[in-house]
Structure 1
Amino acid sequence: MKRIHRNLFFIALSAGIVSFTSCKENKETSTETSAETSHEEMEMSHDEEMGEESAMEMSEAEFDDEKVAANYEAYLDLKDALVATDAEAAQTAAKKLSENTEAEIMEVANKIAEASDIEAQRKAFSELTAMMEPVLENAIASGAIYKQFCPMAFEGKGDYWFASSEEINNPYFGDKMLHCGRVEKTIQ
């Protein structure tokens, strides 16, 4: 009998720990991978998902201005690199964005391109997102852009990013809390 109570206690304790460590705002359920799944298989699966999402994202919103469209595409590449916690890819995307944008946005994009630390890149990405909002709102011709929010970013202060799908892929935490967040606003 003691053994059953002890097992139930450990199961309840484990469930409590899992629920406290997950994002409270996460509305999506994640699938569990089996213990036999290799790290390489998980990376390949993640790359395929990112590729499908990127293709979907690029076809969602259309803009009146080709320059804004190119900047938004580079922004999405940067967001995806941060989601993947890939500092080098973030640098590459930021360089692409800085080549084709206005002075203030170029300055922040250069900050990301010059930083090799992913957390510094994420902090600058927050600034970039705030600067991109009026540009995107004023140039969208059709489709939708989703302004998303993670309440846990930056030590609980929370922060925003843009995406072309409602699916949450958090650039501030990457795979630590991939689906933490919610859609705050739809820009059309």
Structure 2
Amino acid sequence: MKNIILSSIAFVFLFTACNQKNKEVENLNSEIVAPAVETPSIDVNDIKPEIEIKKAASSSFSINGVVNEYLSLKNALVNDDSKAAALAAEKLVVTLSDLNSSSLDSKGKNNFDGIAAEMIKDLKHISGNAGKMDHQREYFALLSKEVTDLVKNFGTDRKLYKDYCPMYDGGKSGYWISETKEIKNPYYGSEMLSCGGIVETLK
């Protein structure tokens, strides 16, 4: 009988302790309140200036100086002036090297850098071979293709004409860019000055 009474007392004690523990946990849980999280509001006007800056940076890139130097080189070959062509090629290398393409997006920058690298290779052949007009004209043909790609990809502020001479290089590479409608052939100069025609207008 004594054992039964002791067991009953122990059971009541354990039940009371567990019940008290549960109440403590409940009270603790009720005291824990998740902090309110404020969701920052995004105003479209906040990001607009960044977009405008990027547009302004891209619009600051211009190949007009490159085109102008190319035309000087072309006109030197039209005039059969090998030394002037060499000097114009040197200036164009400097202009290309100084042109900052960092305002372009990655695709545009890679495109420009690739074309510019090929142009510089060809220009060094022209600048380093004063007195060798045939050699200069051979690399001018390659240069003209690259300048055409440059104009078509990045545009210019002037109207240009893509001309073609079917007599040069068997009709394979006799293209050049001109600032006038009048045909003045840089591949033959005074020998066949007006040989060729306009095949495309570039704007």
TM-score normalised by the chain length of structure 2:
0.58
Aligned to 1:133: 148
Residues 75-107 of structure 1, C-alpha deviations (whole Å, 9 max, x = no match): 001000000111100000000111122222111
Give the distance between the partners of 1:138 and 1:157, measured in 2 at CA: 23
Unaligned ranges ≥5, structure 2: 1-58, 97-115
Cα RMSD (Å): 1.6
1:85 aligns with 2:100: no
Structure 1 residues 72 and 84, CA gap change in structure 2 (3 angstroms): same
Structure 1 residues 65 and 171, CA gap change in structure 2 (3 angstroms): farther
CA contact (8 A) 2:129 2:136 kept: yes
State the shift of 1:138 in Å: 2.1
1:111 aligns with 2:111: no
1:73 aligns with 2:55: no
State the shift of 1:156 in Å: 4.7
- Secondary structure, aligned partner of 1:73: helix
Aligned to 2:184: 169
Q: Runs of 4+ in structure 1 displaced over 6 angstroms?
A: none
State the shift of 1:71 in Å: 0.9
Q: Which has more radius of gyration? A: 2
User: Match for 2:200 among 163, 185, 188?
Assistant: 185
The percentage of aligned residue pairs carrying the same residue is 34
Give the distance between the partners of 1:158 and 1:129, measured in 2 at CA: 9
Give the distance between the partners of 1:120 and 1:141, measured in 2 at CA: 29
Give the distance between the partners of 1:111 and 1:140, measured in 2 at CA: 26
**More strand by percentage:** 1
Give the distance between the partners of 1:174 and 1:121, measured in 2 at CA: 13
- Secondary structure, aligned partner of 1:106: helix
1:1-188 counterparts in 2 under 5 A?
A: 67-101=62-96, 102-116=116-130, 117-157=132-172, 159-188=174-203
TM-score normalised by the chain length of structure 1:
0.62
Give the distance between the partners of 1:80 and 1:141, measured in 2 at CA: 19
Structure 1 residues 142 and 71, CA gap change in structure 2 (3 angstroms): closer
Structure 1 residues 100 and 153, CA gap change in structure 2 (3 angstroms): same
Residues 30-80 of structure 1, C-alpha deviations (whole Å, 9 max, x = no match): xxxxxxxxxxxxxxxxxxxxxxxxxxxxxxxxxx66651111111001000
Q: How many pairs were matched up?
A: 125
Higher RCO (CA < 8 A, seq sep 6+): 1
